[in-house]
Structure 1
């Protein structure tokens, strides 16, 4: 997908994943780690570090995006619930990129999901426990992206 915005070239350096969709103020990337099927990163399309200082139209655009993403992933993969996190900690370690406001969109499943020859399981459903990365091929990530877009 061809994504254009004044800030998008810089976002490539952050390795948020594969561009999926964009709105007026946000860009959604399918995360490289798919230990939870359809995990995405949602980044602001301008340089900003914190939630404070977001403009009213950016908040409204985010709310609309949140609703459409949750609906699409629920319909595409039967997700049970969704965790949203704005976790900026690693930006403040030494030798990291400049902090950039983004959200982690993490669908959670109380059942296994079969998709594109893979079984996606959420063995710690209901808990926030670290999981090993489930890195899948670019081809399978493309199928996940297409399935999400189908319901947007």
Structure 2
């Protein structure tokens, strides 16, 4: 899927994942690591490093996006709950890109989910632990994105 915005070319360098959809102020990407099924990155579509100074319209748009995403992923995959995090730490390591405001959307599951020939499990449900990468094909990634879009 092609996403167009004045800032999209720069966002490609960040490897947030595969674009799923966009709103007026935000772009949603299917994250590269799908160890938690339907994990996404939600990036602001303008240059901004921190949450402070977001415009009211950007906050309102984010709230509507949050509600749409949670409803879509609950309907599509029966997610139990959602973690949202604005974690900017790695941008401040040596030899990284300039910080860019984004959110991590991490669905959590208290049960295994079978989808597209894979079983997705959340063995650390209830805890925040590092998640090892889940190797899936581009075809499966596309099916996950399509399923999310189906319920938006």
Calculate the TM-score normalised by the size of structure 2: 0.99
Give the distance between the partners of 1:91 and 1:145, measured in 2 at CA: 26
Q: Matched residue of 2:82: which SS?
A: strand
Give the distance between the partners of 2:149 and 2:79, measured in 1 at CA: 15
Q: Does 1:71 find its partner at 2:71?
A: yes
Cα deviation per residue 1:12-55 (whole Å; 9 max; x = unaligned)?
00000000000000000000100000000000000000000000
Give the distance between the partners of 1:92 and 1:128, measured in 2 at CA: 21
Matched residue, 1:90? 90
Give the distance between the partners of 1:112 and 1:121, measured in 2 at CA: 5
Matched residue, 2:38? 38
Point out 4+ residue stretches in structure 1 off by more than 2 angstroms.
none
Structure 1 position 135, deviation (Å): 2.6
Structure 1 position 2, deviation (Å): 1.4
Q: Which runs of 5+ in 2 are unaligned?
A: none
Cα deviation per residue 1:87-133 (whole Å; 9 max; x = unaligned)?
00000011100000000000000000000000000001000011211
Calculate the TM-score normalised by the size of structure 1: 0.99
Q: Matched residue of 1:14: which SS?
A: coil
Cα deviation per residue 1:123-148 (whole Å; 9 max; x = unaligned)?
01000011211131110000000100
CA RMSD of aligned residues (A): 0.4
Matched residue, 1:2? 2
Q: Matched residue of 2:42: which SS?
A: strand
Contact 1:3 1:22 in 2 (8 A): yes
Give the distance between the partners of 1:3 and 1:131, measured in 2 at CA: 28
Give the distance between the partners of 1:58 and 1:6, measured in 2 at CA: 16
